[in-house]
């Protein structure tokens, strides 16, 4: 079996004599209480600050996403108007091409019949 090591306050080591061991008491005095209170307060302040700034960061991200959404909606509307305009131009071009063969220019018309209307 192993031997038990006893750390004592005395300088002599006589067998059979009861020895006093070093006390392991933690004494909490007024300075220790102040230190613990300040440490707890500092930790709570740091936790509060990290939580409040993370909420602000989230709100900034949400605002950025809303701005981007609004910008994309405006771009979508602009592109829809452009699409409609281009469709109208294509329809006009196709109508002009189909009517080009059937219409004659005014210089080629030989007879224009009509009555002259006098303004009142």
Answer yes or no: is pLDDT of 15 > 90: no
Whether residue 111 lies inside any domain: the answer is: no
CA neighbor of 79 nearest in space, from 93, 90, 71: 71
Whether residue 86 lies inside any domain: the answer is: yes
Whether residue 75 lies inside any domain: the answer is: yes
Whether residue 113 lies inside any domain: the answer is: no
Q: What is the pLDDT of residues 33-59, one digit of tens each?
A: 899 999 999 999 999 998 888 877 888
Band of pLDDT at residue 105, cut at 50, 70 and 90: low
Structural contact between residues 8 and 19, judged by C-beta atoms closer than 8 angstroms: yes
Q: Would you say the C-alpha torsion 42, 48, 49, 51 has a positive or negative sign? A: positive
Answer yes or no: is pLDDT of 106 > 60: no
Whether residue 37 lies inside any domain: the answer is: yes
CA distance 89 to 109: 29
Whether residue 53 lies inside any domain: the answer is: yes
Read off the tokens for 41.
């307060």
Global pTM value: 0.41
Q: What is the pLDDT of residues 83-104, one digit of tens each?
A: 988 888 788 777 777 776 665 5
Residue 54 sits in which domain range?
A: 30-96
CA distance 43 to 80: 56
Number of domains into which the chain is organized = 1
Provide the pLDDT for residue 43. Answer: 96
Provide the pLDDT for residue 91. Answer: 82
CA distance 46 to 105: 86
CA distance 102 to 95: 11
CA distance 15 to 18: 8
Whether residue 106 lies inside any domain: the answer is: no
Whether residue 18 lies inside any domain: the answer is: no
Read off the tokens for 106.
């005014």
């Amino acid at each position: 079996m192993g031997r038990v090591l006893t750390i004592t306050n005395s300088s002599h080591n006589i067998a059979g004599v009861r020895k006093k061991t070093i006390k392991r008491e933690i004494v909490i005095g007024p300075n220790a209480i102040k230190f613990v209170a300040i440490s707890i307060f500092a930790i709570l302040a740091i936790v509060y600050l990290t939580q409040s700034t993370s909420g602000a960061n989230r709100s900034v991200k949400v605002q950025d996403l809303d701005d981007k959404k609004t910008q994309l909606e405006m771009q979508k509307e602009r592109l829809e108007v452009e699409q409609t305009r281009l469709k109208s131009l294509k329809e006009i071009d196709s109508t002009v091409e189909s009517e080009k063969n059937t219409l004659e220019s005014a210089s080629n018309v030989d007879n224009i019949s009509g009555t002259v209307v006098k303004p009142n």
